[in-house]
A and B are shown apart, each in its own frame.
Chain A
Amino acid sequence: MGAYLRIFALAAAVAAGGLIATNAIVDPYRIFHASAGTLTFQPNSRIYKLEFLSRHCNDYNVYFVGDSRAHILSGPDLEDIGGARFYNLAAPRDEITSIVRRLKFLIDAGCPIAAVIAGESVDVVSDGKDASLLDTESPLISGESRLGFLGKFLFSSQPLIDYWEQTAFGSALHFRYDADGHVEYLWRMKSPADLAAAPCRPPQLSEVEKRLLFLKLPAYRALADLAVQNHFQVIVWITPYNGWKQQVFDDPDVRRFILQLRSIPHLSVVDPARNSPMLSDFTLWTDCAHFRRPIFDDLVAPRILGLLRR
C-alpha cells in the first residue's frame, strides 16, 4: 500500500507542476504579460490595466473609471476635448474605494492626471470580499504578498477553462479589449423576444447593499480631496438605467445617496435625464444592465463636455 500512496503523491505533484507551467505560459487573465493589443477573451482588467499603465501612463491624462457600464467608453465618445488623452481604467464590478486606491498609485508613480470621469452605478455595491480571480485586485494596490498572489493564479485551473471556453469553443459572450482599455461587448438585445425571455427588473437593494452604497460616500470624498491636492477634475455620472429599471431611483435611500453625493465639494455630478425614449429602446441596450454607446453619447457625454475644463 506504500506504493499506492507514492503513486498518488507523484501523480498529484506532476499534475500541480503541469498546471502551474501551463498557467505561466498561457496566462489567460493577462496577469504576467500586460497586453497593449486587442484581446478577444476576458482578462483581469484591474491587473493588466495597472501593469500596462505602470509603463505607459505618460501617454494618458484623462481616465474613465467605473464598472462594466463605464468599460465601453473611449476617447471618441468625448472627441471635442483638445489635449485630452483618454484611458479606460474601468473594470467589471469595480467600486470607488478600489478606484481611489488605484488613482493614488498612479499619482505616486508620477502619472499625469487632468480629469477623472467616474461612472456611478447605484446597484453595484461590494464589500471587496470573495472577489473571483477575474476581479482580483493587483497586489500593487491590495498589498497582498507576491507569493500568495502568484500561487492563487498559478494554481487555479479556472482561468484556463475560461480561456479555453472563450477561444477554442467560440463562446457566445464575446468581448474585444482595445489598447486604450475600453471593451466592446459583441452581443446585444435584438428583438422584443430578448426582453420577454429575460425581463429587466428594477434592482432592489437589500439593507446590507444600502449600507454598502452609503459607504461609497467617504471614498468619493477621498477622491475629491485627491483631486484638489493634485489639481485634477472629477466628474461623476450616474449610469443610465433602462426604462424597465427606473424604479431604482424611486427608492428614498438611493435618492438620499445621490443628494449626498452631489453635496460633496469639488465633485461635479451628472445625473442624466430619466425620461428619454432612448432608455426604453431595447436596441440600444446590450442587455438589461448595459447600455450601448449611443445612450452615453446622447444623454451623458454633452453634459460631461460642458463641465470639462478645456
Chain B
Amino acid sequence: MLFNSYAFILGFLPLALAVFFFLGRFNRIWAAAWLALASIAFYGYWSPKYIALLLGSVAFNFLCGRAIAKRAGSAGGRWILTTAVAANLILLGFYKYEDFFASSANEIIKTQLPLLHVALPIGISFFTFTQIAFLADASKGIVKEYRFVHYLLFVSYFPHLIAGPILHHAEMMPQFASAVPYRFSARSFGVGLTVFAIGLAKKVLIADPFGDMVAPIFTAAHAGVPIRLVAAWVGVLAFTCQLYFDFSGYSDMAIGISKLFGIDLPINFASPYKATSVIQFWQRWHMTLSRFLRDYLYFPLGGNRKGKLRRYVNLMTTMALGGLWHGANYTFLIWGSLHGCYLVINHAWRALRPRRERTSFFATLASGTVTFLAVAAAWIFFRAEDISSAFNLLKGITGFNGIAVRETASGFWQGFVRVFPQVTVLPEGAFQHLGFPTSRIALEARFFGAAVLLLAMPNTQQIAQRVERSCASGGASRFYRYAVPGLAGILLVTALSQMQKVSAFLYFQF
C-alpha cells in the first residue's frame, strides 16, 4: 500500500488512527499492539510472504539485544554482537547482493556461481540497519527499554518501515512508553495533516511530472541514443528535482502520518540543494542515513581521530559502502565513491582555506552552484541503468554528443543558433519523444517553479515548526494560524485529485 493511494489515505490510515486513539483511552499497550499489528498488515499488503522474515528478524534481534545488554562489555556480549550483526548482514547480503557478487565473481575470477534472482523484500535495508544500530547500542549499555511490543513497533512502525527515516531506538522507545501519543492532540493532528499534505503534493504534483521527463531520456541513453546537450541537462536536472521531491515528499508524509499519531520522527531533509558545500549537503540530505553511516561505520573505522590520510580513507570507505547500500550495482558504488571524493576534496580545501565567518554573496553563490552541479552530475550514476549510459549522459551534459535546440525555441536560443550554426535544430516531436511536456512553457515553468521551491522557500520542517509555534503562542502569526491551514487544505485536495495514476516512491527499491 502506497502512502499516495486512495486505499491508504481513505481506508487504512483513518482506521488505524481511529482504533489507536480508541484503545489508547483504555490501555496504552493495546494501542501500541494495535499499531504494530496495523504496521505488519501494511507490510503484508506489499508482500505477505515476507511477514515471517520481518517478524523473524525482529524476534532474533530483540533476543540478541537483551542477551548483549545483560553481558555488556564482556567478551560474551561482544561475541553475540558480532554474530548478530553478521547474521543481519548475511540476510541483507543474500537478498540484496547475492546476484551482484556472484555475477561479479563469475566475470572477474571466472567462477560458476549460480544467480538466484531472489526478490528483494521491501524495506529490508531499512529494518536491517535500524536493528544493527540497536544491537550496537545494546552492547554499549545505552538501550534503556526492552518491552517487546515497543521494540516490535519501533522496527515495524509503518510510517518509516518501507523507506525510512532510519530510526534510532533512543528517540522512539521513550515516545512509545510515554502517555502523550495515546491521547488525541489537535495540535499534533493539525501539524501532521499539514506536513502530510505538503509531502503528498511534493510527490504527486512535482516529482511524478518530473519523472515523466526523466524516464524517456535515461531509457534512450541506455538504448545507446547519443543524448545531446539540452536534452541531457533537462534529464539530469529533472532527475535532480524528481529524486529530491520524491524522497523528501515520502519523508514528509512519513513524518506527517506519524505526527497524526502524536509520534515525532526525525527529519530527513533540510533544504539540501541550498547547501554551499558537499559536507553541508550530506548534513541536509537523507540525514538519518548520514547519521547512521557516521555513528556505525565512520566512527568505528576511526573517523578523524587517526590522522588526515586515514580520515580520507575512512570517508571514501563510508561513502562507497553507503553507495552500495542503495543497490547492488556498480553505478551506486561509483556514485558513493564520487561523493567520497567530493568530501575528501572538500575537507582538504577547508584544511587549506579555513572557513571565514562571513562570506560574500558571490562566494556563497559560486560555492552553492559548484555544489549543486557536482551533486547533479553524480545523480547520473545514481539513476543510470549502467555505466555506459551514465557516460553517454555525462558526454551529453558536457556537449560531446552535440547540441540541439527545439524548432520553436525563441529568444536566447534563436540567438544561440545564429552564433553557433553547427547547432542542430530539432522539431517538437523529437523532444516529445524524450518525454518533454507538450508545451514549452510547461517545461520552463516546471523548472522555474522547482527552483523557487528549492532555493527560496522554507522547507517543510520549518513550516511545521512555525505552525506549531504560532499556534502554541496563541496568535503570534496570523499567516501561520489562518493562511497556512487554508493553503494546506487546498494542497491536499489538489494532490488527491492528481492521484489517478499511483506511482511508487524511488526509494522503495532500496
Listed in ascending order, the chain A residues whose CB lies under 8 Å from chain B are 1-5, 7-16, 19, 130, 132-133, 152, 155-158, 165-166, 169-173, 187-191, 193-194, 196-199, 201, 287-288
Contacts and interface: CB of A to CB of B under 8 A. Distances in A.
B35 interface: no
A130 B424 CA distance: 38
Closest 3 A-B residue pairs measured CB to CB? A11-B489, A197-B430, A198-B433
Q: Is the interface of B mostly helix, strand, loop or mixed?
A: helix
A169 B439 contact: yes
B225 A172 contact: no
Interface centre among B225, B441, B496, B497 (most CB of A within 10 A): B497
Contacts of A5: 186, 189-190, 193, 485
26 contacts: A1-B187, A2-B186, A4-B187, A4-B467, A5-B193, A7-B482, A8-B486, A10-B486, A15-B489, A16-B493, A156-B497, A156-B498, A157-B497, A158-B497, A165-B437, A169-B439, A169-B442, A172-B432, A172-B438, A189-B429, A193-B427, A194-B426, A194-B430, A197-B404, A197-B426, A197-B430
A10 B10 CA distance: 18
B441 A198 contact: no
A130 B442 contact: no
B471 A1 contact: yes
Contact of A190 (B408, B427, B500, B501): B427
A12 B489 contact: yes
Interface residues of B, number: 44
B488 interface: yes
B500 A158 contact: yes
B428 interface: yes
Given A9-B489, A133-B500, A193-B427, 20 more contacts: A1-B186, A1-B190, A2-B186, A3-B481, A5-B485, A8-B488, A13-B489, A15-B490, A16-B497, A156-B497, A156-B498, A169-B441, A173-B438, A187-B428, A191-B427, A193-B430, A197-B426, A197-B427, A197-B433, A199-B225
Contacts of B433: 197-198, 287-288
A172 B408 contact: yes
Contacts, number: 124
A11 B439 contact: no
A155 B497 contact: yes
Contacts of A3: 481
B486 A193 contact: no
A74 to B, nearest CB: 23
Contact of B500 (A10, A152, A172, A189): A152
Contacts of A199: 225
B485 A11 contact: yes
Contacts of B187: 1, 4
Contacts of B488: 8, 11
B492 A12 contact: yes
A4 B498 contact: no
Contact of B434 (A133, A187, A198): A198
A202 to B, nearest CB: 11
Contacts of A172: 408, 428-429, 432, 438-440
Contacts of B424: 193, 196-197
Nearest to A7: B485
B429 A12 contact: no
B494 interface: yes
Interface string B114-132: 0000000000000000000
